[in-house]
Structure 1
């Protein structure tokens, strides 16, 4: 709700009737009567009034009535100088009957959007939420942009003000999509509107595309910047949603910095939400420091041992660092609310701009033709000395008739007939002007008017081109500094259970079948949070997933319990069970993903008396070897044998499994721990969301075993290796992201401003546990190029000196410098002035060359008829 609506409707908007449910039940049988009479009529009138006259903007100019009246008042007061806002508010009260508070608040909102009002003084801060100073202390005047696009009295429709004393505009002739540029929201009776702000330049570009018949797309842009996911924007119509995030980065290993905040939040409520999440145990922070002034700067200090990446995700999941906004495009058109999208709003605004410009041109044409007409009459009147014809006339009628008679022989070329008003104007010409009349200048003026008339006629005939030129001029004149602030990016969905701080402990009583966070005297199971689920396996072969509570009964004789991750497909369960009381034994391997909470699943064949004989949970798909001992039977010779789980396929939990033995099992013992039977995990990097994934989105970085790491190099000259965790955040200046090969040297060229020299260096990553800077630590030191190829080659192009350009230098890094320590300065590249440095194609690596030679030698020994080339370019051999 905006301030205007709050001040005027606080009583109604805050009213919620208290219902006595007992009385409702007692009168349930009574007849329900439909309201009528005064209530029905007055309520409809009130609802219509709020919708049309207060809460919802008009599509024609994008203003609510109070905003339109403010802009009209400012135009009436405009003399180029600043006016006290209190004076403007007082003047606006002549048109707006709802008090000074609503007018002042609405004016501050317009001023804070920095488009139509040129402000002076403390107008508040949209970043911190600080209020503006009192209206008697701050000043305002119309911006040049507002003067260019909002006002044109000759084509403005007018109506009487509420008291009938003055005229006010029905709609301002806005020749720009003001509503889409500023955004707007309001709550009426039975409906609301929320139109998000859009980028000034993009609106102009889209309008030009409309005029050219091209397609266009509009996305919101916020003054608070931030990052927005507009994948479900739905053109700003009802049903859409926009997710907006703060821009959070890692300042150092124990500090996060927030530089931009989401739209509709302030630094104050953002910090409050962070502190509340910390109090509830969702995140763990040490302190929050707010250094915001003209730019946002919130420092979040973390305790030692807390993951910055995980904390960033938790901030998005549990605080106002991410907000979801539901746009709702509703405007007033033809005195009715219209639900529509921003594309239709812009089309209508553009079409209206065309019509307004055409009306202005038609009026200008009429005025120019009138000027030409009277200038021609004036020339005829003076040049032919017709003023002498009135010397003998004694009556006014005679004077008019004499002038009319004198003009007739000379008016055939005029574009309209001479009227009495024209003749009266001629009589008002002063003698001084007649005496100084210059025929040549008069003709020049007529020629200039004729040129202007032709130009205006041309513009009317080519109104679309004229409108495009109008928009282009606006962009050139006012577009500087209005570039897009909000970055558009698709967000990955953050699972709260993965990033929540596990600040509680989970306990289990296996024998009695209880599990929860309050069973402190029982067996400790794991750390957990209050939003986690727990998975439980029972001896009878049943399984259940349930929400963690303080104490909950899940079933007696628990054999395994753990915090459950529904998307974990790498945790494999190995199980041997007996089918029924005396049936055969079966073995199976399975994972658990999709489940229904609190539903009991049977992992056996559902025969009474079934029992789990062996069970293990393996987080990375490990497959152990067990020894199975059978009971002593006369007809069984082999009472002991081994079973390797690696020989079994991983199937679903409902699978029957393979038969182990039909004889009774006495005992099962672990013989040998297993290794993972899962393949190395393929990891991709999705540049759209700047995140790693295992779902095949983006660029494949490689197959990673548990010991493998990622190499990260940034444009600022920092290098580190990390374990490829899917929750890792990557800064925008990452220029190298690949699987790390420890023996592979990194080659680079950097500029050291302190010594004013370029240096070449090659080095290996020396530490896997910390981030290093491999260029000089001077703040203006810059990395020119970096390569992770084994044998890179670069080309150095020199700048011209006294008109002479030196031949380019080819740098073979392997020959230029040997591999040294990461802190080494490196060798100087050249003392000449450099224009540009580019990479050339790298040289083959020796192992690659040797491998190619061996392949070629093998091919040479093979008969060509047995050699085949596959579609993908691979070479095959017919061994028959």
Structure 2
């Protein structure tokens, strides 16, 4: 069988440029996605599918105080009348509105299995039932009082609301997320009590700054709780621009276990994280050896979340363990903020916090005006009817006669009593039992009541101030219902600053204990448990003696300066124990035979050091710059033989004192000494003969101190040392009386 080709002129075929056709059709698709699927309306905070679900549930009379019906029935109603899409998409949207771990203030009250925080799906729609919550009823409140516009549904059979009245600030309270064509939205949930406080402030001060509003709305409030660790200035910037994000961490606590151990218990996980996948991911990271501090993870959750994390060893700091967990797993996530919404249901744009709140208030004013106008029309119609009734009661006999005798009683009544068509129709429809005297009294009472209400409504419609007062009272009522004192209103997410912790694997797994490091004159090193004060009983090899005893912790680093100007680094926990005489330092560092150790001390990265050679040259170096990463050490002070590195002291003070072998002392300002990371340095004190013996940095207010051979401490006050104060590179003067014969100021660290 052959197919006849389509030729020009055969039927209604129009040639169209492919690019033009593609642009037009893609634009139509993009607009449809933006307007009718992905972006929420700033007024009610709902996307079309959610709006249609709530409206269909209202039409089914699924009020909060009523009974439940099958979700399949609701989904069928939504799909058949309002939302011509797949039933699974509708049911997924309906189920999410019922999940208290996904929605801060659920709009659907579900009965049955609606999924869980582990990521399990809800049961099929034929097994679950639902009705509206009080929050949903609040969003729909007044919809039958001409408060919003309606439009024909997709096939024109029925009408659906364009937007809901929304007496509840749903957009920020429950948040929203969606991806359209070329744009997306992501709004985290917030606390209604805080939102209402900001709304009331905005009503009172329409020009309120975002800084002031953020004081009342400090950040999101997630249904799953957690701790928000985003800096305040970043949060403020996000609310100012409508774009940003929030770092959210799991909430955890430390529980002590037997034998001095502990475990971490996680009770809240970040918003949007599925617990089962989180545990699975942590276990995977452990097997990949990417969580060196973690020994085990267990999920002991029942109704409440309880994840147990066990450290690899009890010496691991819990804060350090959790910081490593936050960096590697979804125990910390970043929740984005992109307040891209539809203004007036038409214009997609990114709004700041103030604009979102203000546009909701404007919507509430419009709802109030429409509702009041609708009510006014009803009252005026009723008053017209009541006026007709009163005329009938005053002329009851004549009215009865006309109805009984006249062929066209309606026309006769209108002509006789100057009635309107509405009034005449109402009189003709009166029941005989309503013609009692009591009914007349009730009508007059109703007339007076409605007349008063009419006056109030007219005043309300004329006065903008009264309208804002009315909206303000509505917001106050909502705030009371969702107060932080209530179970649903209390804030679940809290704020904290993330601790600044450096994750150092080498020290994290070391038990933190006090030790005393013993270094002998011949370079043997060992550690004694605890901080020892009595060192008189220490035993050394024949001909050896104590050189330095340093009180440290097993987690500390020890820094050594040698006579060749090199610095070496040792870990305190790697040093040999106190039994025996220890081990030679030369086995741990590459130190030449002709050089020796000058100084050893505990590393303090925040400190600066003054280093100097026997030639009198020296400079200041930040202590973090002297740490050596290998056993070869780090060359810091450059010396040429026969000179050697002689001194290393903390540079804590405003003056420097130097003394030479020639017993001459010089004092000068520390500002005259350069700060470097490596070099020879500048001349500190000049010597005709001999060399530099010792250096001390001190504060002018404290004076210059030294310790003699008997261990006594002497202090030379500033007023007494003027003879020795000069400038760097001078020769100095002979030391004061009583200065030690060793030409040393005493201990340096």
> What is residue 131 of structure 2 aligned with on the other side?
141
In structure 1, the gaps of 5 or more residues are 1-33, 409-417, 505-534, 544-556, 561-565, 578-583, 629-637, 680-880
After superposition, give the CA deviation of every residue in 1:299-357 in whole Å (9 maximum; x if it has no partner): 22223322223223333333322222231110012522111122211111012112212
Call closer, same or farther: CA 1:420–1:388 in 2, change over 3 Å. same
> What is residue 370 of structure 2 aligned with on the other side?
359
- 1:590 aligned to 593, 598, 621, which one? 621
* 1:110-509 correspondence runs (5 A): 110-112=97-99, 113=103, 114-126=105-117, 128-151=118-141, 152-153=143-144, 154-213=146-205, 215-217=212-214, 218=217, 219-230=219-230, 231=232, 232-233=234-235, 234-236=237-239, 237-252=241-256, 253-278=261-286, 279-302=288-311, 303-334=313-344, 335-385=346-396, 386-391=398-403, 395-396=407-408, 399-408=409-418, 418-434=419-435, 438-457=439-458, 459-460=460-461, 461=463, 462-479=466-483, 480-492=486-498, 494-498=500-504
- 2:71 maps to 1:85: yes
> What is residue 46 of structure 2 aligned with on the other side?
63
Q: SS at 1:442's partner residue?
A: helix
> What is residue 690 of structure 1 aligned with on the other side?
none
Q: SS at 2:264's partner residue?
A: strand
Q: Distance in 1 between matches of 2:497 and 2:563?
A: 42
Q: SS at 2:348's partner residue?
A: strand
> What is residue 30 of structure 2 aligned with on the other side?
47
> What is residue 859 of structure 1 aligned with on the other side?
none
Q: SS at 1:323's partner residue?
A: strand
- Is the contact made by 1:588 and 1:648 (CA closer than 8 Å) also made in structure 2? no
Instruction: For residue 144 of structure 1, report the CA deviation from its aligned partner.
Output: 2.7
Q: Distance in 2 between matches of 1:643 and 1:318?
A: 57
Per the normalisation by structure 1, the TM-score is 0.56
Q: Distance in 2 between matches of 1:620 and 1:311?
A: 35
Call closer, same or farther: CA 1:332–1:226 in 2, change over 3 Å. same
Per the normalisation by structure 2, the TM-score is 0.65
Q: SS at 1:130's partner residue?
A: coil
> What is residue 658 of structure 1 aligned with on the other side?
682
Q: Which moved more, 1:478-487 or 1:295-304?
A: 478-487
Q: Which has the higher contact order (CA 8 A, sep 6+)?
A: 2
Q: Distance in 2 between matches of 1:92 and 1:320?
A: 36
Q: SS at 2:337's partner residue?
A: coil
Instruction: For residue 222 of structure 1, report the CA deviation from its aligned partner.
Output: 0.9
Q: Distance in 1 between matches of 2:429 and 2:642?
A: 118
In structure 2, the gaps of 5 or more residues are 1-16, 511-558, 568-589, 598-602, 701-749
Q: Distance in 1 between matches of 2:468 and 2:87?
A: 42
Call closer, same or farther: CA 1:202–1:585 in 2, change over 3 Å. same
Instruction: For residue 93 of structure 1, report the CA deviation from its aligned partner.
Output: 0.8
Kindly indicate which of the two structures has a greater share of residues assigned to helix: 2
Call closer, same or farther: CA 1:571–1:58 in 2, change over 3 Å. same
Q: SS at 2:106's partner residue?
A: coil
Q: Which moved more, 1:254-263 or 1:444-453?
A: 444-453
Q: Distance in 2 between matches of 1:478 and 1:444?
A: 38
- Is the contact made by 1:539 and 1:558 (CA closer than 8 Å) also made in structure 2? no
After superposition, give the CA deviation of every residue in 1:817-874 in whole Å (9 maximum; x if it has no partner): xxxxxxxxxxxxxxxxxxxxxxxxxxxxxxxxxxxxxxxxxxxxxxxxxxxxxxxxxx
- Is the contact made by 1:228 and 1:245 (CA closer than 8 Å) also made in structure 2? yes
Call closer, same or farther: CA 1:572–1:375 in 2, change over 3 Å. same
Call closer, same or farther: CA 1:574–1:273 in 2, change over 3 Å. farther
Q: SS at 1:286's partner residue?
A: strand
Q: Distance in 2 between matches of 1:421 and 1:602?
A: 107
Call closer, same or farther: CA 1:604–1:664 in 2, change over 3 Å. farther
Q: SS at 2:611's partner residue?
A: strand
Q: Distance in 2 between matches of 1:377 and 1:65?
A: 46
Q: SS at 1:241's partner residue?
A: strand
Q: Distance in 2 between matches of 1:499 and 1:188?
A: 45
Larger Rg: 2
Q: Distance in 1 between matches of 2:646 and 2:121?
A: 64
Instruction: For residue 65 of structure 1, report the CA deviation from its aligned partner.
Output: 1.1
Give the count of matched residue pairs. 570
> What is residue 547 of structure 2 aligned with on the other side?
none
* 1:515-594 correspondence runs (5 A): 568-570=605-607, 572=609, 574=611, 576=613, 586-591=617-622
Q: Distance in 2 between matches of 1:55 and 1:336?
A: 13
Instruction: For residue 602 of structure 1, report the CA deviation from its aligned partner.
Output: 10
* 1:786-865 correspondence runs (5 A): none
- Is the contact made by 1:196 and 1:220 (CA closer than 8 Å) also made in structure 2? yes
- Is the contact made by 1:389 and 1:406 (CA closer than 8 Å) also made in structure 2? no
Call closer, same or farther: CA 1:89–1:663 in 2, change over 3 Å. same
- Is the contact made by 2:45 and 2:171 (CA closer than 8 Å) also made in structure 1? yes
> What is residue 573 of structure 2 aligned with on the other side?
none
Q: SS at 2:198's partner residue?
A: helix
Call closer, same or farther: CA 1:451–1:305 in 2, change over 3 Å. same
Q: Distance in 2 between matches of 1:500 and 1:45?
A: 60
After superposition, give the CA deviation of every residue in 1:13-39 in whole Å (9 maximum; x if it has no partner): xxxxxxxxxxxxxxxxxxxxx993233
Q: Distance in 1 between matches of 2:566 and 2:254?
A: 45
Q: SS at 2:19's partner residue?
A: coil
After superposition, give the CA deviation of every residue in 1:623-650 in whole Å (9 maximum; x if it has no partner): xxxx99xxxxxxxxx9999999999788
- Is the contact made by 1:50 and 1:189 (CA closer than 8 Å) also made in structure 2? yes
Q: Distance in 2 between matches of 1:238 and 1:594?
A: 44
Instruction: For residue 391 of structure 1, report the CA deviation from its aligned partner.
Output: 4.3
After superposition, give the CA deviation of every residue in 1:674-707 in whole Å (9 maximum; x if it has no partner): 999899xxxxxxxxxxxxxxxxxxxxxxxxxxxx
Call closer, same or farther: CA 1:489–1:441 in 2, change over 3 Å. closer
Q: Distance in 1 between matches of 2:317 and 2:136?
A: 50
After superposition, give the CA deviation of every residue in 1:163-210 in whole Å (9 maximum; x if it has no partner): 333212111121221111101111112111111111011122222222
Q: Distance in 2 between matches of 1:287 and 1:645?
A: 60
